[in-house]
Structure 1
Amino acid sequence: MSWTAAGLVVVLLLAVIVRLPWAGDLGMHAATLQRLRHDPLHPGNPLVDADTPSPYYSPWMLLLGLLARASGWSVFVVLRIAAVAGLALLVTGVWRYVRTLSAHRAAPALGLLSLLLVWGTTAYTWSGFPGLGSLALTVSYPSTFALGLAFHLWAWLTTALRDPGGGWARWLGLGAVWAAILLCHQFTGVVASIGALATLLAVRRPRTVPWPKLAAALLLAAVVLAAWPYYDFFALLGTGDDLADTHRGLYRDWAVRYGLVAAGVAALAARLRRARRDPLVLFFALGLLFVAAGWLIARYSWGRALPAALIPAQLALAVEALEAGRRWLRLLWAVLLTGVLVTGAWVQSGTLGYVLPREALPAPAEARYREPWNGYHWITPWVRYGDVVLAEKHPARRIPAYGPYTVAPGYPDVFLPDADRRTAAVERYFTPGTPAAVRRGIERTYGVRWVVDAYRVLDDTGLRRVATGPDGHVLYRAPGP
């Protein structure tokens, strides 16, 4: 039964991938692929016409960009391929890691269901947070690929520690995988690191750990991180918390966002009574400590490590329902797990809206379904690759997916030195009443060829209307020099 349910959920996610609903950072990743397919050696900034590095140029995205370049497929086709690969990596990674925790046949399936459904009483979407609804919108992101690698890393490390006689290649491979995770998605890299540390601390006889091989793995990872040519990984460690306001929300509304995970915390408590060095308990404790530290020192981006506390609790609940000591206790845990899984499925039923027509959705799913964004394919008959489009924040998050640049990036960019000046210029341009001469000056400064007015605020007759999009957004041609 558990395998059937897990299979149905995976089929649902595969059906979602066919549609590839647009929300959040999809445009950012599509733009990254556009630059890499155009010039894999010197892609420049993915969003604006500037020669700067970007942390989005990861090994995974480079591989996908080369695939797009060699095949001629559109970036959206390649993103669908990335989604299938990321989902496969995540499912197999969960299967392998749960197998290190339990030999029960149903454990991997229950672990996957728990990971996807045991969250809170309201749907919550964020990359790296693998709830069903969240994963439906982020499955093509590098964060999903990185999280899948993280599960494989934990499984591989656990196996290596149980058989310390393995060769150097195994440990060097672990170091390379860890570096790849950190380069592909830094926040998931933190989660992966916390899980790996918990796995090491759970070793009952530390003397059996092959410390020279572990040191070699860490050294190799450091070398890979330092040698990566597309951006300076270690420079990210010295940047301020530019996303503090965005990430502050991670510390609010815990009861409705993660309330169902309380059942998993109870399962962790049961495991702690049996073994003080339980890997899931240590994983949870380290993750919670890291997130709490972020709150105390106002580094709210550290809240992105919340999966390091949630994942071990979710998996503990699944395993406890199968392996609690007494039969009546297993039955109790199984009833509790069934209850939270059903509740979680009901909460995240809006995911069906990405597969079924809205009118065909059951009432609970229809109430929880959120329409994805519209794309900007309608501008492509006129706007070409490399053209500069002046647009406000939300359109600027989608337009570069088709090849153009925007004046200001739609996302924070720690490597773009004039980001604030660009943002201020866009705000000035779209302020009602701004003189035409000022607008012409902004167009000349940034080489603007096109303007997208999403909110119908422009009254400048110097712009020529070219097309109107599905949301009423208007494409104008800039007058030029």
Structure 2
Amino acid sequence: MPPTAATAATVAATLAVLLLLAVVVRLPWVGDLGIHAATLERLRHDPLHPGDPLVDADVPSPYYSPWTVLLGLLAKATGLGAFAVLRCAALAGLALLLTGVAHFVRTLTRRRTAVSLAVLCVLFLWGPAVFEWSGFLGLSSLALTVSYPSTFALGLAFHLWACLRKALRADAGPAVFLALGALWAVVLLTHQFTGVVTSLGALAMLLGARPWPRRATLLRLGAGLALGLVLLAAWPYYPFFDLFGAGGGLDGIHRALYRDLPARFGLVLVGVAALALRFRRDRRDPLVLFFALGVLVFAAGGLSGHCSWGRVLPAALLPAQVAAGVEAAGLAAAVREGRAGRVPAAVAAGTLAAALAVGAWTQAGTLGHVLPRSALPSAVAAKHRPPWPGYRWITPWVRPGDVVLAKTFPARQIPAYGAYTVAPGYPDFFLPDEDARADAVRRYFAPQTPRAERLEVLRRYGVRWVVAYRSDGGLPETDLALRKVTVGTRGQVLYEVVGAATR
């Protein structure tokens, strides 16, 4: 790669990272930020027995991972608010992710430019339509999920793959493989879907190891795997292996992962071409094997109707994206050394540059998270989706531990400020009365529900507050059981439940 192109790649990667750092300061809210903030609030209040993060119930939750417990202890020790701690989590997750990509790429090539190119490919080599989901590392997606446990887990995953490659190559001792087993368990406990991606990647690193590991090395690897399984079984905050029965309830949410694949991920085909080149050189190339395993599981999920398996898609995308960066750096070096023609190399470089440019333009709306709309060109401003405003306006009255009755969308945000909701805003596998709670909320707001039945819902769940639009239904604001307290920025009303009137 010419010096100017190498410099451009480094500058572009640096600017993208600086943009993400600026986003951390703003911490825009679109998605699951509320449940992660709620998790920290519960752990701050009671690190040993936090209970459900969303509703007032003494049940376990997979959100209580080693990472969130550590963040909860930080919040308790420092007195920092949940969102301040999430900014710390974002910085740590971003640092771990970037160093992890660099660490992994350096086990594949010594070309210095490959790291910058791989970072650019991971951020921009997606598709001509914006796609945002935790565990998917496009720039616009990462800007919204950088504080999530999935980002931290992916950062650990890249380091694990790199360390495993080096350990297999060096025939490392038992301590190294035991540490890798513990690291694998931490990833699985922190974000289960990323844990599956990590496991497929680790299997690919093993199957692609050259030379093939000795029997003693495989036994050490088995010991590390056994330790990881023990740690998974021993984790006290939730029974990890019970999650294997949770897939059915998640399939509906993840059906969207199987729609609009060319628009969302079409640019990754450039990386697939890079994988084809690697496959020609080595039939056991670890990136090729990783990609094949990811495609196989993703396809199996779609064909069998297990759409939650779609969360394994990063196992196909990441190796293709990394391969694109590594192969581009290697091709440039081959041209300089006279091992490749300039015209084919120029075509390959131009194709990658064009794909990255399309991906960058598609995700240009991310700039709106750090710049005012007036400072953006109109075409970029049109791409920006404003973040959710949140429910801080209720906090002068609603206290931590209070129960709020609200529909699904506000129920995804209100627990971030310490309150509980009647029904969880997200699927809650360990909550035995989840369906009954959701039905209670529906019945409260249904137009034909008698007043006595609505009052019974308020009594049964100890509701102290109701958040609703006037058009939502429920008890009229003139009812003696309610007292109008304040109106939010979008017209929602906070009502206090008058206890005597509900008895």
TM tier, smaller: over 0.9
Once residues 439 and 374 of structure 1 are traced to their aligned partners in structure 2, the CA distance between those partners, rounded to angstroms, is 29
1:243-283 C-alpha deviation (Å, 9 max, x unpaired): 21111110110010000001111111111111101111111
Pairwise CA RMSD:
1.1
Deviation at 1:438, TM superposition (A): 1.3
Q: Distance in 2 between matches of 1:200 and 1:75?
A: 39
TM-aligned CA deviation for residue 455 of structure 1 = 5.5
For the 8 Å contact 2:422–2:441, the answer to whether it is kept is yes
State the alpha-carbon separation in 2 of the partners of residues 192 and 67 from structure 1: 27
For the residue of structure 1 that corresponds to 2:495, the secondary structure is strand
Task: Choose from 181, 194, 204 the match for 2:200.
Answer: 194
Match of residue 313, structure 1, among 317, 320, 345: 320
Q: Secondary structure at the match of 2:449?
A: coil
2: CA distance between counterparts of 1:327 and 1:96?
Answer: 30
Partner residue of 1:181 out of 184, 187, 210: 187
Cα distance in 1, alignment partners of residues 175 and 352 from structure 2:
40
Asked if 2 retains the 8 angstrom alpha-carbon contact of 1:322 and 1:330, the reply is no
**2:456 aligned residue:** 441
Residue of structure 2 equivalent to 1:470: 489
Give the equivalent residue in structure 2 for 1:379: 394
Residue from 37, 55, 64 that aligns with 1:57: 64
Equivalent AA in structure 1 for residue 468 of structure 2? D
CA contact (8 A) 2:274 2:324 kept: yes
In 2, the alpha carbon distance for the partners of 1:280 and 1:68 equals 39
Asked if structure 2 preserves the Cα contact closer than 8 Å seen for 1:321 and 1:331, the reply is no
SS in 1 for 2:484: strand
CA 1:333–1:418 in 2, change beyond 3 Å: closer, same or farther?
same
- From the superposition, tell whether residues 155 and 357 of structure 1 become closer, same or farther in structure 2 (CA, over 3 Å): same
Contact residue 75 and residue 82 of structure 2 kept, 8 A: yes
Q: Quick one: distance in 2 between partners of 1:238 and 1:222?
A: 18
User: Would the alpha carbon gap of residues 151 and 240 (structure 1) be closer, same or farther in structure 2, given more than 3 Å must change?
Assistant: closer
Q: Name the % identity.
A: 61
What are the within-5 Å matches in structure 2 for residues 42-441 of structure 1?
Answer: 42-164=49-171, 166-208=172-214, 210-324=217-331, 325=334, 326-328=340-342, 329-441=344-456
C-alpha contact 1:451 1:478 (8 A) present in aligned 2: yes
- Letter of the 1:401 partner, please give it: A
How far did 1:63 drift? 0.2
Following TM superposition, by how much is the alpha carbon of 1:315 offset from its aligned partner in structure 2, in angstroms? 1.0
SS of the aligned residue for 1:452 comes to strand
Q: How does 1:10-25 map to 2 (within 5 A)?
A: 10-25=17-32
- Between the aligned partners of 2:254 and 2:134, the Cα distance in structure 1 is 12
Aligned residue type for 1:378: W
* Partner amino acid, structure 2, of 1:52: V
Aligned equivalents of 1:207, 1:139: Cα separation in 2:
36
Whether contact under 8 Å (1:456, 1:473) holds in the other structure is no
With 118-127 and 199-208 compared, the bigger mean Cα shift is at 199-208
Report which stretch shifted further, 77-86 or 1-10.
Answer: 1-10
Inter-CA distance 207–378: structure 2 relative to 1 (3 Å threshold): closer
* Letter in structure 2 aligned against 1:414: F
User: What is the DSSP-based 3-state SS (H/G/I as helix, E as strand, rest coil) of the residue aligned with 1:371?
Assistant: coil
Name structure 2 gaps, 5 residues minimum. 1-6, 335-339
Separation in structure 2 between the aligned mates of residue 275 and residue 331 of structure 1, nearest angstrom = 24
Deviations 1:348-407 (A, max 9, x none): 000000000012112232121101101111111111110000000000000000001000
SS in 1 for 2:472: coil
1:168 CA drift (Å): 1.6
Distance in 1, matches of 2:483 and 2:213, equals: 74
Q: Deviation digits for residues 315-346 of structure 1, max 9, x if unmatched?
A: 11111112135142433322111111111100
For residues 64 and 470 of structure 2, what CA distance do their matches in structure 1 show? Answer: 32
Please tell me whether the aligned partners of residues 33 and 75 of structure 1 are also in contact (alpha carbons under 8 angstroms).
Answer: yes
Q: Report if aligned partners of 1:202, 1:279 keep a CA contact under 8 Å in 2.
A: yes
Tell me, yes or no, if the aligned pair for 2:207 and 2:284 is still in contact at 8 Å: yes
The code of the aligned residue for 1:467 comes to T
> How far is the alpha carbon of 1:206 from its aligned partner?
2.5
Q: How many residues align?
A: 480
In the alignment, the residues of structure 2 paired with residue 153 and residue 206 of structure 1 have an alpha-carbon distance, to the nearest angstrom, of 19
One-letter amino acid of the counterpart of residue 323, structure 1: G
CA contact (8 A) 2:104 2:162 kept: yes
Counterpart CA distance in 2 for 1:354 and 1:75 is: 20
* TM-score normalised by length of structure 1: 0.98
Deviates more, 1:69-78 or 1:261-270: 261-270
Q: Tell me the residue number matched to 2:337.
A: none
Secondary structure of the structure 1 residue equivalent to 2:485: strand
Q: How far 1:301 sits from its partner (Å)?
A: 0.4
Letter matched to residue 371 of structure 2: L
Q: What is the distance in 1 between the residues matched to 2:204 and 2:451?
A: 60
Cross-structure match for 1:32? 39
